[in-house]
């Protein structure tokens, strides 16, 4: 089945802002991501905690169409600055609630992105923008790239490049089908492995959250 074209979350939000001034309801999130899923090429994903990362990415792939309905940015409601974009806090909280509903991310992950959205809003106040894409929100917030269609479609072809664990926490580097690399910080809470943070390891990208 052909995977739908996924734009970066920030760009999705801008499209929604142009089509509707209302805030969408939190979308229905599915947990049937593993139904008929292709087995992973790398057997390391059949063990934990690498298996958690693969299933998180499968979950994300299954729910991208719903997540992109969330309006992360909108135009300012201030009469003196209606042409400028601002971060839509209601939308970002809906997005974070949907991510937490996945059961694959920790409170630390949620709080980290909540702080990031606030920083983006502060940056927009300092340097107002009237046109898309918005700096800091012009990439996919999970895949950490501007073009992730192919990687999501073939995510089971990813490989575990590096794994370091100690005292129920650690990091894992995943090589994606496109040869891109993502580093995951993970921790075990109440007997379950959760994602705490994700960093892009591709030197060609210069994302603000990777500084």
Q: Which domains does the chain have, with CATH numbers?
A: 9-20+45-210 (3.10.450.50)
Q: Are 154 and 54 in contact (CB under 8 A)?
A: no
Instruction: Report residue 31's pLDDT band, with 50, 70 and 90 as the boundaries.
Output: confident
Lowest-pLDDT range of 13-22, 63-72, 76-85, 125-134? 13-22
Instruction: Report residue 25's pLDDT band, with 50, 70 and 90 as the boundaries.
Output: low
Q: State residue 105 phi and psi, 5-degree precision.
A: -120, 150
Q: Following DSSP, what letter does each residue of the chain receive, concatenated?
A: -PPPP---HHHHHHHHHHH-SSPPPPPP----TTTTPPPPSSGGGGSTTHHHHHHHHHHHHHHHHHHTTS--EEE---TT-TTSEEE-HHHHHHHHHHHHHTTSB-HHHHHHHHHHHHHHHHHHHHS---SSSPTTSSS-TTT-SS--HHHHHTGGG-EEEEEEEETTEEEEEEE-TTS-EEEEEEEEETTEEEEEEEEE--TT---GGG-
Q: Higher-confidence residue: 140 or 205?
A: 140
Q: Higher-confidence residue: 191 or 2?
A: 191
Q: What is the pLDDT of residue 135?
A: 85
Computed over every residue of the chain, the mean pLDDT equals 84
Q: For residue 77, is pLDDT > 80?
A: no
Query: Which of 20-34, 92-106, 121-135 holds the top average pLDDT?
Result: 92-106
> Could you give the C-alpha distances from 130 to 75, 118, 121, in angstroms and in order?
9, 18, 14
Q: Higher-confidence residue: 86 or 202?
A: 86
Residues 177, 164: Cα–Cα separation, whole Å: 22
pTM for the whole thing? 0.82
Residues forming beta bridges with residue 163, ordered by sequence position: 172
């Amino acid at each position: 089945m052909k995977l739908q074209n996924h734009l970066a979350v920030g760009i999705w939000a801008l499209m929604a802002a142009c089509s509707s001034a209302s805030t969408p309801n939190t979308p229905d999130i599915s947990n049937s991501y593993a139904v008929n899923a292709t087995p992973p090429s790398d057997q390391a994903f059949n063990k934990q905690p690498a298996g958690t990362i693969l299933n998180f990415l499968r979950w994300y792939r299954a729910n991208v169409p719903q997540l992109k309905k969330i309006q992360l940015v909108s135009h300012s409601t201030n009469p003196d600055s209606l042409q400028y974009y601002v971060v839509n806090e209601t939308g970002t909280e809906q997005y974070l609630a949907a991510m937490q509903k996945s059961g694959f991310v920790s409170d630390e992950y949620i709080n980290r992105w909540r702080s990031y959205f606030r920083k983006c809003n502060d940056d927009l106040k300092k340097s107002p923008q009237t046109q898309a894409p918005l700096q800091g929100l012009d990439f996919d917030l999970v895949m950490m790239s501007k073009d992730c269609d192919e990687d999501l479609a073939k995510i089971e072809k990813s490989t575990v490049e590096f794994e370091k664990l100690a005292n129920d926490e650690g990091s894992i580097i995943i090589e994606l089908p496109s040869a891109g690399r993502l580093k995951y910080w993970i921790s075990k809470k109440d007997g379950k492995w959760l994602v705490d943070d994700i960093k892009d390891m591709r030197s060609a990208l210069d994302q603000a959250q990777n500084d």
